[in-house]
Structure formats: C-alpha cells, structure tokens
Amino acid sequence: MLVVDDSEAFRKVMIELLVRVGFHDTAEAKDYEEGMQVFRKERPEIIFVDMILPGKSGVELTKSMLSVDPESKIIAMSSIINKKMIREALEAGAKDFLLKPTNEIALNAVLTMWSD
C-alpha cells in the first residue's frame, strides 16, 4: 500500500489505519515526484492518492502511475467532495474515492472491494 499526501499527519493516521486493518506493508510519499519514485520501486497493489498535491495534481499522478502499470489500483482522496474532481480522477483510471479524514469502516469497504 502506498499513501501519497502532502500532510505528514494525515499520512501517519492513514498508515496506522492500514496497519490496524491488517496491511503492514505500507509506504508513503508527499508529492508527485516522491510518489512516482516509491511507486516504481515498491509497485504497491493499492495506492491512495490525495487529489490536491503541491505541484502536479493527484489526477496527473494517477495517469502517470497507470501509464507505468495499468493494473495499479488507485484510490482518490480529498477532504471535500468536488464532483468534477472525482469524475476526473475516475476518468483518469482511479478505482474509487475516499473522503478525508477516512475511517476504518470506509477504508475496510474500499480494501474489501479492491484488494486481491
């Protein structure tokens, strides 16, 4: 699992949640560049991508990751529900969307749906 978010505090909470629901193999990145670096190295099964990142956006990151590995499962995240942004993320290839701050129930539902 890879969490890409510019908020260190959110990344920490998200990693803790992932560990709590049974996913111990986790990595994190703060922006597009770091996200692509970790993605190329780790090839995580599921990537949680904040749509609003400093520099290149989450949608751009989604497209780049999928161009490297079309089988990647990307879950878009945002602290607001902007329908246009969610539509763009899904059109770019994201599988699902999580509202931040997320919780164990919503995270479990997404992981049940998309993890192998």
> By the criterion CB under 8 A, which residues form the site for another protein?
17, 20, 80-83, 86-87, 90, 96-97, 99, 101-106, 109-110, 113
Of 29 and 86, the one with the shorter C-beta distance to another protein is: 86
Q: Min. distance of Cβ 69 from another protein in angstroms?
A: 22
Q: Min. distance of Cβ 99 from another protein in angstroms?
A: 5
- The neighbouring-strand residues paired with 99 are 78
Listed in sequence order, the residues at least 6 apart from 8 whose beta carbon sits closer than 8 Å to its beta carbon are 30
Of 52 and 90, the one with the shorter C-beta distance to another protein is: 90
Q: What are the C-alpha distances in Å from 64 to residues 77, 84, 100?
A: 17, 20, 23
Listed in sequence order, the residues at least 6 apart from 41 whose beta carbon sits closer than 8 Å to its beta carbon are none
Q: Min. distance of Cβ 113 from another protein in angstroms?
A: 5
Q: Min. distance of Cβ 33 from another protein in angstroms?
A: 27
* 103's tokens: 């919780």
Residue with tokens 């539509």: 87
Of 38 and 57, the one with the shorter C-beta distance to another protein is: 57
> Measured between alpha carbons, how far is 43 from 52 in angstroms, rounded to an integer?
22
Of 61 and 107, the one with the shorter C-beta distance to another protein is: 107
* 113's tokens: 């749906």
